Amino acid sequence: MSAQSLPLPGKIDLAPPAPAIRKAVQSRHFLESVGRRGAMLGTEDGTFEAWLNPIKLARDFRLSVFFDGSLDAVDLSDLAETVAVSPGRVTITHSHAAFTIRQTWVAAVDSPVLLVLLDIDTNRPLRLRASFIPEMKPMWPASFGGQSSAWDDAEHGFVLGEGLRRYAEVIGSPLFTTHSEQIGHQLPSRRILAEMELTPEICRAHTIPIVFAASRKDYRAALADPERLVRESDEYYRAFDARTLRVHTPDAVLNDAAEWARYALEKGWACNEGVGCGLVAGYAASGESQRPGFAWYFGGDALMNSWSVLDYGDFDRVRGILEFLRGHQRADGKIEHELTQSAALLDWSKYPYGYYHGDTTALYLYSAARYVVRSGDVDFLRASWDSIAKAYEYCAGALDDDGLLSNRKAGAGAVETGALSGKVANDVYLQGAWLAALDGYLRLAEIAGRNPGDAARQRDRARQTLNGWFVEPATLAFARLTDGTMYPAQSAWQGLALAFGGLDPAKSARAAARMSRLELSTPWGARLFATDSPNYDPLSYNDGSVWPFVTGFAALGEFRNHQATGGLRHLYGTAAMTGLTGAGFIPEYMSGERAQALPHAVPHQLFSSSAVVNPLVSGLLGLDGDALRHTLSLAPHLPQGWTVEFARYRVGRSVVSGTIARVRGEARISLTIEGEPLSVTISPAFASGATSATAGVGGAQVPMTVESTPGDAHVTVRAAAAQRIDAVIRVTEPAESPQVLVRPAPGDPAR
């Protein structure tokens, strides 16, 4: 069959679209292109594995070149020099004295298609070889029988199938002409090859495609117009950028981290025909296994991530997250902890993982309330009330006598492995989630006009009990153990309760102030447990490593309790880890001893990226909106000398943009509101001890209140609903020590 029987595209413009990270190749660093229905997961040297949900087609895909009659191939992975990473695609440049090959990966936005597009500059003929190890295996823990591969002359490619003939996946190119022998009804247990002959004329006139597709139909459609798939990807992310929140601070590290965190989160939206569409937890190459990081659906992760997605204003995506979890709610009201993408191929209910976490149901209540209040989507609340009520009843049925949510009854919270595994009766993180859930449920019941039952009393009881967990010197204990004793170790896990628990303000402030102590804090985040804890281990998954998402809780707890210096340091430390193991991404967890990811950490972990967005927007800037009450509150904790600009913060049908500028003795806030006007409460933080405040809005003096805490002083003014608000607040305050933010280098110790 002639190669000309399939279309060969002309030259495609593959210049990396903005934003782009351009860098020298680090061959072991993670690299990907991810769409909703497929993923290319590899490394910056150009090798990858291919997934079309929920199936892994191949691993260790690589390219090599023969020229000038050589019998030995030149492996392009050895020639990888630079990489350009854009949100929807990546390009690796392979450079040799005789040729330059730019290899671009594009996962189609919403089609089960993956593209390798080759832009080749050569003055001599080349023979290009593609090689890979065929897999044709579904995601963990499902399996196939009877896998096979065959060469299809008409498609110039391999067709991979399985015994029941439900799938016939294609890997091919119009220019493939020779290939490894394929044995009927078998899948080779070795690397298989396909080769093409390239002349300088072909390379000058064409971009060379290699296509991975879920069917012959998808394969042919991709070859008919690969440029369309590239264009769709670029346009999708341009539109995403144009409709979501942008924040610009004086610090480039923080700005870049916040920008790329949005893309990292959006890439987690994954679909397949058997399960539907939801937010997965993270991506990594699976190697010889069938677990691509955490690229299946985790309820708790998705709910935590929804807070950041809400902060940057993608209301439709948050509603989709909540509806997906609502659709998989157990009959007794419990929300699912995890669901594999291969769930349609097996009976997932027979596996013990689906509902074994206790925090997910509480987080569902809190997250639903955040969404409804911020978006004003009362229709979602009406459609979901039965689900919300069942979730509340489930949690209420899993309480201990003191009003705390029981790990033994509800399931795991902060501890999955390690020294405390099986020993925790109630952990502080689970109680923080429960108290936040109760506040959320009470607000939802108020909006829906429903009777909240015993929720207010339960909230007061749980707060009273948890207030008893404060131990000297000013730490909120981590847990009560199953033997009845307290585990008083200091932990970053307390951050959620300090932020949203409504606990004793004075005790919470002292506990938040101690979260910056060197025993707990590193330059790249907060440890799960302080170094003076009984079971501290800096390399342990649960006993002392640094998790960005838990550091995010710590930062929120600090900002909410007027400890802005610690909050900004923890926020910055997390942001500074962007790119540590993969361009644009923050890894799952790191050593408690030095700035390095642990060997099995997932490089693209969504809730790690969330630990930049939510603490930045809800913590540092203190933005919060209520679409049902048509209000906006702004309580920034900026250092002296900082000016921050933001655009497209959404509150219901209103879109807010503004500038917050603070110098010693003065804060200036300018806001523009498009759409429905909002009443605004402005409450910037000044140095502790600030006095003699005056405030003006629109040039007129206005009433104000001053609240002093040991950590800062807030001057609060209120502005009536308007499209434009300009406020100036002046105080007499001491000079603050300059906030020194130092980006740790990989491998730096925790000084």
Tens of pLDDT, residues 419-460: 999 999 999 999 999 999 999 999 999 999 999 999 999 999
Residue with tokens 């078998």: 186
Euclidean distance between CA atoms 82 and 205, whole angstroms: 24
400 and 524 both lie in a single domain? yes
Euclidean distance between CA atoms 185 and 168, whole angstroms: 13
Q: What is the domain range of residue 146?
A: 3-236
On whether residue 119 sits in a domain, the answer given is yes
Number of domains comprising the chain: 3
On whether residue 497 sits in a domain, the answer given is yes
Q: Specify the range with the lowest mean pLDDT, choosing from 91-95, 182-186, 315-319, 700-704.
A: 182-186
Given a cut of 70, whether residue 3 has pLDDT beyond it is: no
Euclidean distance between CA atoms 148 and 162, whole angstroms: 6
228 and 106 both lie in a single domain? yes
What the block records as the tokens of 118 is 């080759």
Q: Can you give the pLDDT at residue 183?
A: 78
Residue with tokens 């799938």: 167
Stretch 682-690: mean pLDDT:
96
On whether residue 118 sits in a domain, the answer given is yes
67 and 139 both lie in a single domain? yes
Q: What is the side-by-side order of every strand in the sheet holding 208-213?
A: 21-24, 80-85, 89-96, 99-107, 113-122, 208-213, 168-172, 157-161, 148-152
Euclidean distance between CA atoms 479 and 488, whole angstroms: 7
Q: Among 604, 624, 644, identify where a domain stops.
A: 624
Euclidean distance between CA atoms 153 and 177, whole angstroms: 9
Given a cut of 50, whether residue 725 has pLDDT beyond it is: yes
Indicate the pLDDT class of residue 1, thresholds 50, 70 and 90: very low
615 and 672 both lie in a single domain? no
Euclidean distance between CA atoms 219 and 230, whole angstroms: 15
At position 686, the amino acid (one-letter code) is F
Residue with tokens 């769409």: 35
On whether residue 309 sits in a domain, the answer given is yes
181 and 99 both lie in a single domain? yes
Residue 747 backbone dihedrals phi, psi, to 5 degrees: 95, -10
Q: What is the CATH classification number for the domain harbouring 343?
A: 1.50.10.10
Indicate the pLDDT class of residue 27, thresholds 50, 70 and 90: very high
Residues 6+ apart with CB under 8 A from 301: 279, 281, 282, 294, 606, 607
On whether residue 722 sits in a domain, the answer given is yes
Stretch 386-402: mean pLDDT:
98
Euclidean distance between CA atoms 731 and 686, whole angstroms: 8
Q: What is the CATH classification number for the domain harbouring 699?
A: 2.60.40.1180
Instruction: Please give the torsion angle defined by the CA atoms of residues 184, 188, 192 and 196, in that order, rounded to the nearest 10 degrees.
Output: 10
What the block records as the tokens of 608 is 């790690």
Euclidean distance between CA atoms 193 and 172, whole angstroms: 11
Residue 263 host element (H or E): helix 252-266
Q: Among 600, 624, 648, identify where a domain stops.
A: 624
Residue 705 vs residues 117, 340, 717: alpha-carbon distances, Å: 61, 52, 7
292 and 307 both lie in a single domain? yes
- Residue 89: closest CA among 224, 191, 234, 210: 234
Euclidean distance between CA atoms 453 and 434, whole angstroms: 16
Would the pTM count as exceeding 0.85? yes
Q: Can you give the pLDDT at residue 99?
A: 97
Tens of pLDDT, residues 158-206: 999 999 999 999 999 999 999 998 877 788 888 999 999 999 999 999 9
Residue 583, phi-psi category: left (phi > 0), alpha (psi -120 to 50), beta (remainder): beta
On whether residue 128 sits in a domain, the answer given is yes
658 and 587 both lie in a single domain? no
Residue with tokens 């607000």: 443
What the block records as the tokens of 541 is 């998954």
393 and 532 both lie in a single domain? yes
14 and 152 both lie in a single domain? yes
Is the Cα torsion angle 482, 487, 493, 495 positive or negative in sign? positive
Q: What is the CATH classification number for the domain harbouring 23?
A: 2.70.98.40
At position 477, the amino acid (one-letter code) is A
